[in-house]
Amino acid sequence: MGHLEVICGSMFSGKSEELIRRVRRAVIARRKVGVFKPSTDDRYSREAVASHNGMTIEAAVVPAEDPWSIWSWVNENPVEVVGIDEAQFFDATLAQVVDRLVQHRIRVIVAGLDMDFAGRPFGVMPHLMAVADEVTKLKAICARCGEPATFNQRLIDGKPAKLSDPVVLVGGGDRYEARCRRCFEAPL
Ligand code: ZN
């Protein structure tokens, strides 16, 4: 039997660093590793899982709407450890793929945002957290007060975004910061 580890938390909480740290240790232990991330996450290089402190590891990029291509890849390239970054962007079938991997004795390490910008459970993450053997919830630092932060504050032109604001703004103009529960201004 395999093992499912979930690393969750807000933006800037070090999820990718923690995923990379665990993958690095598996590589040192001479385990065969495959790392995946959704193709919708194109903030950085398309071939590497990058983290904010610049550590990178090579990763296969998989379309977010097609988690089964992770399974196909693993069938052609047998591995003992699978890392999946930005898991919140994959569709719900990721839960079935992860379950299949664990059934096939693979150690699966998933990292992703547990909440969206409105503080709602994000995509497939709550499901994965429920069925995981181990959940690690990391915290960032509140951009307002410096306390531990668990929320993602979306700002448009410096003001808290509304629920009705478009998810993608042409030309940017929106940014995110970590906030604690007290400083988080929930979008209405
Ligand atoms: Zn705060």
Number of domains in the chain: 1
> Is residue 185 assigned to a domain?
no
Rounded distance between C-alpha atoms, residue 109 and residue 5, angstroms: 5
Residue 150 CA to ligand 1 centre (angstroms): 10
> Is residue 81 assigned to a domain?
yes
Is residue 86 part of the annotated active site? The answer reads yes
Rounded distance between C-alpha atoms, residue 124 and residue 6, angstroms: 12
> Is residue 152 assigned to a domain?
no
Domain carrying residue 35: 3-139
CATH number of the CATH domain containing 66: 3.40.50.300
pLDDT score recorded for residue 47: 55
Residue 37 CA to ligand 1 centre (angstroms): 30
Mean pLDDT of the chain: 89
Q: Residue 53 above 60 pLDDT?
A: no
Q: Residue 50 above 70 pLDDT?
A: no
User: pLDDT digits over 96-135, tens only?
Assistant: 999 999 999 999 999 999 999 999 999 999 999 999 999 9
Evaluate if pTM is beyond 0.95: no
> Is residue 186 assigned to a domain?
no
> Is residue 49 assigned to a domain?
yes
> Is residue 59 assigned to a domain?
yes
Q: Residue 42 above 60 pLDDT?
A: no
CB atoms under 10 Å from CB of 6, counted, come to 27
For residue 62, the one-letter residue type is V
